[in-house]
Amino acid sequence: MNAPYATPMKKFFFAFLLLAVSSSFPVLSSFAKETPKPEVDEPLSPVDATKAVLTGTAEPGASVIVTGGVYEVAPVTADSDGKFSITVALVQESSNTFYIQAQLSGWAISGSTEVTIIEGEEVTREYEAQTGEDHTAPAAPEFDETDIETDEATYTLEGTAEAKSTVWVNGEESDETVDSNGSFSIELALSGGDTKDTFSISVADKSGNLSAATKVTITSSSEEAGELEETGDKTLPIDVVGHWAEDYINRLYQDDVVSGYSTGLFGPDDKLTRAQIVKIALLAFGRSSDETSNSFSDISSSDWFYGYVLSASNLDIVSGYSDSTFRPNQEVTRGEALKIILITAGLTDFTSTESNFSDVLSSDWFSGYSAYAKEIGLIGGYSDGTFRGNQSITRAEVCKIVVELLDYLETQN
C-alpha cells in the first residue's frame, strides 16, 4: 500500500532538495566574486610636481585603494557614478608607479591597475617644449601669516596663488578659485577653545597639476563648541572626536601606534588592510625583526609597509599566499585580525573552557582564537551573539581590541 505513494514522495523530496541547493549557489557565488578592476584615467606624465591626482571610475560605492608610493594613502569611496579622485605624493626625479585596486563590501578585492608618473624638471621641460602642454605644478600658495590667532569660530584666510587655479584644503578640492589677479580667500571653520587647527592649502591649475601644500595653523579662543579637541600631546583627527572608539584610538594615537592620513583624517570606520593590521600589531606590542629577503612578488622596498611586512613574516606572524603574493591591500577579516593581534602579543595557548560565539563552528580555523578572546573579555561580539569572523574589520574595531589586550596583559604581570 505504501510503495505507490513512496515513489512520488521521494521524487518530490529530491526535487525540493535540488531546488534548495541550486538556489543557494547565487548567494554563495556572490561572496566569491571579484570586484571589477577600476579604470584609471591616464595621469599627466612627465610632470614637475610634488603631488599628483589620480582619477578614474570603479564600481559605485567601492573602496578604492592605492599603493606603491612612499606614504600610506587613505582609501576613498567611489561615488554614485563610480568616480573617484586620490592625491598621491611623488618621489622627485624618479619614476613613480602606483597600483590601484577596488573592493566592494563582501566581494574579493580586484586586480591592480598600474599607472606610472615620471617626475623630473628637465624631462618635463623637454616634453612641454615638444607638445605645448602644461605639466608643471603651480607654486605653493602664499600667505602673509601662517600662524594665526583669532577669537572667532570661523576665519577667512586670504592668500595668493596662480591665477585661475582651484583651492584645495586638506587634500580636498574646494569651490574657491584664485582670481585673475592671483588672489583668493576661503572661510575655514575652527574648533575654538584655544585649539590649534592646522590646514594644508594647495592649488591645482586648469591642467590638473597640483601644487605643494602650505601649512596654516589657526588658534581660536572662541568658546563655541568645536569639532576638534586637544587630547594628550597631539590633536586628534577631526573624524575621531565623538566617535564611539575615540578613547581607544586616542591612546594608540598618542603612543604613535596609529596615525592619520595625509589629509588630516583618521578614517575610524575605514576597513583595515593586511598591511595596516601588521603595522599596528607590531608597534602596539613592541615586536620587530631584522628584515629578511623579500619573498613576496607584490611588495617592494618603496612601499610604506615593506619593513613591517617582512618583520611580521620573519616572526611567523603572517605568511603569503601560494602565488607568492602578500596582498597588502586586501581587507583583513575579524578572524584574521584577531589571530594576528594575539600572536603578535606573544600568546600561544588558545584553549578555552567557555562557549564560543553562536556563529562560530568548531571547524572554523579561527574558532580557538575567538573562544579564547571571548573568555578573557577581549571581545564581546555583536548583540545577536555572533562574532562574524569573515566580516571585514575597521580601524576603530582593531584599536579597541588592541587596547583591551594591552590592559589585560598588564593585569597578568
All domains in the chain, ordered by first residue: 39-131 (2.60.40.10), 147-228 (2.60.40.10), 234-412 (no CATH)
User: What are the tens digits of pLDDT across the range 72-117?
Assistant: 777 788 888 899 988 888 888 999 999 999 988 778 888 889 999 9
Name the CA radius of gyration of the chain, rounded. 26
If pLDDT is split at 50, 70 and 90, which confidence band does 27 have? very low
The residues that bridge with 88 in the sheet, in sequence order, are 52
What pLDDT does 353 receive? 67
What pLDDT does 224 receive? 64
Question: Does the pLDDT of residue 410 top 80, yes or no?
Answer: yes
Q: Compute the Cα dihedral for 393, 398, 400, 406 and give only its sign.
A: positive
Question: Does the pLDDT of residue 32 top 70, yes or no?
Answer: no
User: What are the tens digits of pLDDT across the range 354-365?
Assistant: 778 889 998 899
Residue closest to 172 by CA, chosen among 220, 148, 204: 204
- pLDDT higher for 237 or 208? 208
User: In this structure, are strands 214-220 and 147-150 parallel, antiparallel, or unpaired?
Assistant: parallel
Q: What DSSP designation does 339 have?
A: H
If pLDDT is split at 50, 70 and 90, which confidence band does 262 have? low
Question: Does the pLDDT of residue 348 top 50, yes or no?
Answer: yes
Grid coordinates belonging to 377 = 573579555
If pLDDT is split at 50, 70 and 90, which confidence band does 319 have? confident
CA distance 79 to 59: 9
- Average pLDDT value for residue range 43-57: 93
Grid coordinates belonging to 34 = 571579484
CA distance 169 to 172: 5
Question: Does the pLDDT of residue 41 top 80, yes or no?
Answer: yes
Question: Does the pLDDT of residue 261 top 80, yes or no?
Answer: no
Mean pLDDT in the chain? Answer: 84
Residue closest to 397 by CA, chosen among 238, 276, 286: 276
Burial of 129 (0-12, 13-18, 19+ CB in 10 A): exposed
What pLDDT does 31 receive? 43
User: What are the tens digits of pLDDT across the range 154-190?
Assistant: 899 999 999 999 999 887 888 899 999 999 999 888 8
Grid coordinates belonging to 62 = 567601492
Lowest mean pLDDT among 152-156, 191-195, 218-222: 191-195
Percent of the chain with pLDDT over 70: 88
- pLDDT higher for 89 or 1? 89
If pLDDT is split at 50, 70 and 90, which confidence band does 221 have? confident
Percent of the chain with pLDDT over 90: 42
Lowest mean pLDDT among 187-191, 230-234, 347-351: 230-234
CA distances from 111 to 38, 80, 106, 297 (A): 8, 21, 16, 14
- Average pLDDT value for residue range 228-250: 73
Residue 169 CB neighbour total at 10 angstroms: 19
What pLDDT does 234 receive? 67
- pLDDT higher for 331 or 74? 331
What pLDDT does 349 receive? 84
Residue closest to 395 by CA, chosen among 293, 247, 273: 273
What pLDDT does 227 receive? 43
**Highest-confidence range of 89-93, 143-147, 251-255, by mean pLDDT?**
143-147
